[in-house]
Amino acid sequence: MFADVKLMERFGAGQYGGSYVSESLVSVLAEVDAAFRDARRDPAFLDALTVLMRDFAGRRTPLRLAERLSSQLGRKLYLKREDLLHGGAHKTNSTLGQLLLAKRMGKTRIIAETGAGQHGVATAMTGAALGLPVEVYMGAIDMERQQQNVKRMELFGAIVHPVRAGGATLKDAINEAMRDWITNVGSTYHCFGTAAGPYPYPSMIKYFQSVIGLEAREQIQEQAHQLPAAAYACVGGGSNAMGLFAGFEALSEVALYGAEPAGLADGSLRHAATLTLGTTGVFHGMRSLFLQNEEGQIAGTHSVAAGLDYPGVGPELVALQEAGRARFVAISDEEALDAFETLSRLEGIIPAFESSHALALAMKTAADFPEGSSLLVCLSGRGDKDLDEYWKIKGSAS
């Protein structure tokens, strides 16, 4: 079910990744590392996870040929339907893996940080299913903006802690969650939202998400009788991208593409395009690229797709970019909204604003590949959550 992901401490020529944490976290990270190495070799753990993925989350998710859009593009566009996963997005793959691991480690309390609330909801939902109490740190401003997700987390029995420090958004919530973990290492597991953070999280989360790429590779070979010419994913921190890429990275004939949010349609690339615009730094326990000012202060980000609003990016994606193995392109809000409408009208599927970035990039680059070739897009989540925002934007534009 999962790819044979190598646990990497550092990526690229050794400069990305690592583990930049206070001394009190060193031993608990080593404990997570040892538990994960052990668990992925234990058939009982893998069986339990496979059953949860199937009966709780609904795996395997379908691969759908988008027929009408394909005939417009002259290329066969396949959608990996993570939007049909329980919870409405790929995040459930990672929270199931991590919380089952936490349980195996004997941890009795789960903490997480969340920006727009999607990772908080996935963690709270999984905590309810596995009987683990969850506490979520969330910026007070984000809580105000995302009341529905706060209500969801509370319904699942989670405690949501408002964070008022700094800008009261995701990067401040990350700091608070790290502080909590330092104080409660014995009892607590920190559930990360993306393929980022200190070792072993980037590789471990890639492993749990690699189910996307492995299934998609099998399915596209069954359906199209060929490998895709290119595979596309949107990039927040990089978990759905690394999960998809895990199925194809060893196959050099498959081009790998990541779509980052450019934010504004004026092409000024000011917003959350970390791989395009970021500079090297250390935050959230890792060395990677970040959007930051000259003093190294992490910037607040903004995209129409709240789930892409992470100020950094997973270290392995940076290495893939530097090696020329994957290409990253900034997609504007306008391009993403256009893809959102196109898929809704032509295919009867409302994609998440995040996933709409990947779709927009596939539509934009389709002509680079020979007619009749197959393109694979990871539809990371469903767009019902984005409807109010969509109609607000439409309303103000008319």
Catalytic residues: 91, 113, 380
The site for ligand PLP, by CB under 6 A, has a size of: 19
* Residue 380 found at the interface with ligand PLP (CB under 6 A): yes
Give the span between the Cα atoms of 48 and 101, in whole angstroms.
11
Q: How far is the CB of 38 from ligand PLP (least distance, A)?
A: 25
Q: The tokens 């892409």 sit on which residue? A: 308
Question: 29 or 84: whose CB is closer to ligand PLP?
Answer: 84
List C-alpha distances in Å: 211 to 14, 81, 149, 352.
Answer: 27, 12, 26, 20
| Residue 158 near residue 170 (C-beta atoms within 8 A) | no
Q: How far is the CB of 273 from ligand PLP (least distance, A)?
A: 13
Q: How far is the CB of 44 from ligand PLP (least distance, A)?
A: 28
* Residue 352 found at the interface with ligand PLP (CB under 6 A): yes
Give the span between the Cα atoms of 334 and 324, in whole angstroms.
27
Give the span between the Cα atoms of 155 and 23, in whole angstroms.
36
Give the span between the Cα atoms of 287 and 319, in whole angstroms.
12
- The 188-190 sheet, strands edge to edge: 159-163, 134-139, 109-114, 188-190
Question: 241 or 318: whose CB is closer to ligand PLP?
Answer: 241
Instruction: Rule CB under 6 A: choose which of 307, 311, 312, 315 binds ligand PLP.
Output: 307
Q: Are strands 134-139 and 279-283 parallel, antiparallel or unpaired?
A: unpaired
Tell me whether the omega of the peptide bond preceding residue 200 falls within 30 degrees of 0, making it cis.
yes
* Residue 235 found at the interface with ligand PLP (CB under 6 A): yes
Give the span between the Cα atoms of 105 and 32, in whole angstroms.
8
Instruction: Rule CB under 6 A: choose which of 114, 123, 146, 194 binds ligand PLP.
Output: 194
* Residue 239 found at the interface with ligand PLP (CB under 6 A): yes
* Residue 354 found at the interface with ligand PLP (CB under 6 A): yes
Q: How far is the CB of 82 from ligand PLP (least distance, A)?
A: 8
Give the span between the Cα atoms of 133 and 338, in whole angstroms.
40
* Residue 381 found at the interface with ligand PLP (CB under 6 A): yes
Give the span between the Cα atoms of 398 and 396, in whole angstroms.
6
Closest of 262, 234, 302, 286 to residue 82, by C-alpha = 234
Question: 89 or 362: whose CB is closer to ligand PLP?
Answer: 89
254 token code pair: 């498959």
| Residue 228 near residue 376 (C-beta atoms within 8 A) | yes
For residue 65, which phi and psi values (nearest 5 degrees)? -75, 120
* Residue 238 found at the interface with ligand PLP (CB under 6 A): yes
Instruction: Rule CB under 6 A: choose which of 146, 288, 303, 355 binds ligand PLP.
Output: 355
Q: How far is the CB of 55 from ligand PLP (least distance, A)?
A: 22
Question: 31 or 338: whose CB is closer to ligand PLP?
Answer: 338
Question: 122 or 185: whose CB is closer to ligand PLP?
Answer: 122
Q: How far is the CB of 116 from ligand PLP (least distance, A)?
A: 8
Subset of 85-124 contacting ligand PLP (CB under 6 A): 89, 91, 118
Q: The tokens 């020529």 sit on which residue? A: 13
Options 51-59, 106-114, 157-165, 231-239: segment touching ligand PLP (CB under 6 A): 231-239
Question: 121 or 185: whose CB is closer to ligand PLP?
Answer: 121
Question: 146 or 185: whose CB is closer to ligand PLP?
Answer: 146
Instruction: Rule CB under 6 A: choose which of 123, 175, 210, 240 binds ligand PLP.
Output: 240
Element at 155 (helix H, strand E): helix 147-155
* Residue 308 found at the interface with ligand PLP (CB under 6 A): yes
Q: How far is the CB of 358 from ligand PLP (least distance, A)?
A: 8
Give the span between the Cα atoms of 57 and 112, in whole angstroms.
20
Q: How far is the CB of 310 from ligand PLP (least distance, A)?
A: 7
Q: Which residue is nearest to ligand PLP (CB)?
A: 381
Question: 185 or 377: whose CB is closer to ligand PLP?
Answer: 377
356 token code pair: 């709409």
* Residue 362 found at the interface with ligand PLP (CB under 6 A): no
230 token code pair: 């290119």
Closest of 352, 335, 340 to residue 386, by C-alpha = 352
Q: Which residues bind ligand PLP (CB under 6 A)?
A: 89, 91, 118, 194, 234-241, 307-308, 352, 354-355, 380-381
